[in-house]
Amino acid sequence: MEVKNAKEAKKGVLKRIAGPVVTAVNLDAHMYDVVRVGKEALMGEVIKIQGDNVIIQVYEDTSGIRPGEPVSNTGLSLAVELGPGLLTSIYDGIQRPLEVLVNKMGNFIERGVSAPGLSHDKKWTFKPLVKAGDKAEPGKILGEVQETNIVHKIMLPPNQKPGVVKTIKSGDFTIDEIIYVLEDGREFPMLQRWPVRVPRPVREKKNPTIPLLTGQRILDGLFPIAKGGTAAIPGPFGSGKTVTQQQLAKWSDAEIVVYIGCGERGNEMTEVLTEFPHLEDPKSGKPLMERTVLIANTSNMPVAAREASVYTGITIAEYFRDMGYDVSLMADSTSRWAEAMREISSRLEEMPGEEGYPAYLAARLSEFYERAGLVETLNGDSGSVSVIGAVSPPGGDFSEPVTQNTLRIVKVFWALDAKLSQRRHFPAINWLNSYSLYLDALHDYYDKEVAPDWNKTRSWAMEVLQKEAELQEIVQLVGSDALPESEQVTIEVARMIREIFLQQNAYDAVDTFCDMKKQYDMMKAIKMFADLAYAAQQAGVSPAQILGVKAKNELPQIKFTKDYKPELEKIEKSMDTEFNALRSAA
């Protein structure tokens, strides 16, 4: 409260209002200070200072605001509240809890309502992990709170000097109550604030070596992302970006998930909100919502808050990373974020770069993705933030600036393809255009944890798919019967890889998640068919007979079967018998 009064003297006056960008004069301000605009005290942020004019982006609708209304500076940068209560929350782009907003202003988002990001009344049971006399360095874990099934660790804020614990309490506290005091007299509650545009510090960034397993065959099997890695999913509308993002949010084996709905559809967020509490984390068996933080700034919510939403999300992700967790962050969609930048930039009458985007687009994108990573935290623990950004290129044209600038930074590229989605091949990720630069880094992991021959099997599958693409060009011209016999077998094997392995039904209770073991078994079964088929073809069996092998028709059903093992063994056995019969007949 004192802060507010002290700043009272510095009140400025609004001079011009044009959409989400307003100009104030006589305001003592610094870049990125948070200000309160107009009689209703709408939240805004200083984005340009020009002589006496301070230019502000306002996070709420500015209709009805007049020149001459007051503007006051809070003197703080845009920051998020960090502490127990983050998990299971759903926020707008500037960390206002949407649930609280419903209670305060009803079903529609009105303006001028502020709401803190965390509940300041709720009491949490704090359990200290250090005692008086222990050293406290920045980032050190001093105690913990059982937040959901996740343990929320309370750390000395990273921007604090080290000290020695004088007293530390135990028991039930709100996030504002002082729980520990250092010998030099500094007092701390559980709550800490962090400015969203500043990355939280770490001791060291490391190279990722463990995959972020997602239960999606084409991702884990062919184009894996590492924990602490970055990936982009570009695709035209209707190609399945959002479904893929949601599948990742549901099934990826991260401990914490931050999902940012940035400028996307309201109904999609509702879907996540309705569905997640009923879905179980395959590892812990607890509702998925318990490890999730949602940020929803839908396309019709104020555009400046959309710009901020991505930073709000990544800061929360970094905070959990600092506790030593593996966090995955999904941003759907970074193109809407870039468009928000473009809109603000054009209102500032800045010189536009490519396609009207501001010249600093590339810098902002790379700064954002660089906040991902596998790190050694300040307290020496290991944590990671993996970032998966959806990109919505206009007209599905990957040559546009947002896609291109993103691809220059990220290591994994999952190219969505409208052609595939039109024939309901889901996930509609094109296996020829996609890539993962983590394959080498993850080689050892797959070798040890999945199977010694997995890496080889993967390469084999990619080769078959590549070969098929070449053969398809010929087939398009002359028909499949004109191909040599062995290549007709290749076409069939590739079809099996596509239809059995790559296609995955996100809406089937079993097929929606497929662990690495099952992925391996499925691919092995296809490879077994391939080996038998080539051998049979060499022995003189005709392609028509090979294609007629009945056992392979049972293989797709494996996808939908939970205890697939006995079934799969039966199929493999009858495959063997059938081929034996064919070979001896030939």
Partner 1 sequence: MKEYRTITKIAGPLVFVEKTEPIAYQELVNVVLSDGTIKRGQVLDTSDDLVVVQIFETTTGIGRDSGVRFTGETIKMPVGREMLGRILSGGGKPIDGGPEIVPEKRLDITGAAINPYARGMPADFIQTGISTIDGTNTLVRGQKLPIFSGAGLPHNNVALQIARQAKVPGSTESFAVVFAAMGITKEEANYFMADFERTGALERAVVFLNLADDPAVERIITPRLALTTAEYLAFELGMHVLVILTDMTNYCEALRQIGAAREEVPGRRGYPGYMYTDLACIYERAGMIKGQKGSVTQIPILTMPGDDITHPIPDLTGYITEGQIVVSRELHRKGIYPPINVLPSLSRLMNLGIGKGKTREDHKKVSDQMYAGYAEGNDLRGLVAIVGKDALSERDRGLLEFADHFENRFVRQGYDEDRTIEDTLDLGWDLLSTLPVEQLTRIDRDLINKYHPKFRAGAKKE
- Within residues 292-321, the interface with partner 1 by CB under 8 A covers 296, 298-301, 303
Binding flag, residue 261, partner 1 (CB under 8 A)? yes
Q: How far is the CB of 477 from partner 1 (least distance, A)?
A: 7
Query: Which of 69, 354, 449, 485 lies at the binding interface for partner 1 (CB under 8 A)?
Result: 69
Residue 511: CB atoms within 10 A of its CB come to: 18
- Which run of H or of E encompasses 36? strand 33-37
Token pair for 241:
């970006």
Binding flag, residue 258, partner 1 (CB under 8 A)? no
Query: Which of 560, 573, 585, 586 lies at the binding interface for partner 1 (CB under 8 A)?
Result: 560
**Residue number with CB closer to partner 1 (144 or 343):** 343
**Residue number with CB closer to partner 1 (112 or 189):** 112
End-to-end Cα, the chain, rounded Å = 91
CB-CB contact of 178 with 142 (8 Å): no
Query: How many Å apart are CA 377 and CA 204, to the nearest integer?
Result: 7
Query: Which of 140, 152, 200, 336 lies at the binding interface for partner 1 (CB under 8 A)?
Result: 336
Q: Which stretch binds partner 1 (CB under 8 A): 210-218, 271-279, 323-331, 375-383?
A: 271-279
Binding flag, residue 279, partner 1 (CB under 8 A)? no
Binding flag, residue 108, partner 1 (CB under 8 A)? yes
Query: How many Å apart are CA 109 and CA 113, to the nearest integer?
Result: 9
Binding string, 140-179, against partner 1, x = CB under 8 A? Answer: ----------------------------------------
Closest CA to 148 of 319, 258, 293: 293
Helices 485-496 & 516-538, crossing angle to 10 degrees?
170
**Residue number with CB closer to partner 1 (85 or 139):** 85
Q: How far is the CB of 63 from partner 1 (least distance, A)?
A: 4
Helices 303-322 & 334-347, crossing angle to 10 degrees?
130
Query: Which of 5, 121, 131, 507 lies at the binding interface for partner 1 (CB under 8 A)?
Result: 507
**Residue number with CB closer to partner 1 (14 or 182):** 14
Residues 71-100 that bind partner 1 (CB under 8 A): 90, 98-99
Query: Which of 114, 557, 577, 580 lies at the binding interface for partner 1 (CB under 8 A)?
Result: 557
171-173 β-sheet, strand order: 151-155, 141-146, 124-128, 171-173
**Residue number with CB closer to partner 1 (131 or 278):** 278
Query: How many Å apart are CA 444 and CA 113, to the nearest integer?
Result: 53
**Residue number with CB closer to partner 1 (154 or 500):** 500
Q: Which stretch binds partner 1 (CB under 8 A): 194-202, 315-323, 423-431, 566-574?
A: 423-431
Q: How far is the CB of 114 from partner 1 (least distance, A)?
A: 15
Q: Which residue has the tokens 């050190």?
A: 140
Query: How many Å apart are CA 400 and CA 392, to the nearest integer?
Result: 10
**Residue number with CB closer to partner 1 (108 or 131):** 108
Cross-strand pairs, 404: none
**Residue number with CB closer to partner 1 (160 or 480):** 480
Half-sphere exposure of 153 (CA within 13 A, CB side): 18
Q: How far is the CB of 306 from partner 1 (least distance, A)?
A: 8
Query: How many Å apart are CA 383 and CA 373, to the nearest integer?
Result: 8
Token pair for 340:
């928000």
Query: How many Å apart are CA 540 and CA 486, to the nearest integer?
Result: 11
**Residue number with CB closer to partner 1 (179 or 491):** 491
**Residue number with CB closer to partner 1 (110 or 204):** 110
Q: Which stretch binds partner 1 (CB under 8 A): 259-267, 312-320, 441-449, 450-458?
A: 259-267
User: What dihedral angle (degrees, nearest 10) is formed by the CA atoms of 535, 540, 546, 548?
Assistant: -150
- Where does residue 74 rank: exposed (0-12), middle (13-18), buried (19+ CB within 10 A)? middle
Binding flag, residue 355, partner 1 (CB under 8 A)? yes
Residues 110-129 that bind partner 1 (CB under 8 A): 110
Q: How far is the CB of 551 from partner 1 (least distance, A)?
A: 11
- Where does residue 376 rank: exposed (0-12), middle (13-18), buried (19+ CB within 10 A)? middle
Q: How far is the CB of 502 from partner 1 (least distance, A)?
A: 13
Residues 213-252 that bind partner 1 (CB under 8 A): 236-238, 242
Residue 363: CB atoms within 10 A of its CB come to: 11
Residue 22: CB atoms within 10 A of its CB come to: 26
Residues 470-489 that bind partner 1 (CB under 8 A): 475-482
Q: Which stretch binds partner 1 (CB under 8 A): 4-12, 186-194, 258-266, 565-573?
A: 258-266
Query: Which of 66, 131, 278, 562 lies at the binding interface for partner 1 (CB under 8 A)?
Result: 66
Query: How many Å apart are CA 360 and CA 375, to the nearest integer?
Result: 27
**Residue number with CB closer to partner 1 (2 or 481):** 481
Q: How far is the CB of 497 from partner 1 (least distance, A)?
A: 13
Closest CA to 54 of 91, 98, 99, 22: 22
SS3 145: strand
**Residue number with CB closer to partner 1 (3 or 477):** 477
Please work out the total of residues on this chain that contact partner 1, with binding judged by CB under 8 A.
83
- What is the chain's length? 586
**Residue number with CB closer to partner 1 (90 or 316):** 90
Residue 415, phi then psi, degrees to nearest 5 = -85, 115
Binding flag, residue 399, partner 1 (CB under 8 A)? no
Binding flag, residue 514, partner 1 (CB under 8 A)? no
Token pair for 515:
């662990």
Query: Which of 4, 6, 16, 207 lies at the binding interface for partner 1 (CB under 8 A)?
Result: 16
Binding flag, residue 64, partner 1 (CB under 8 A)? yes
Distance (Å) of CA 547 to CA 347, 529, 581: 63, 11, 14
Binding flag, residue 356, partner 1 (CB under 8 A)? yes
**Residue number with CB closer to partner 1 (176 or 271):** 271
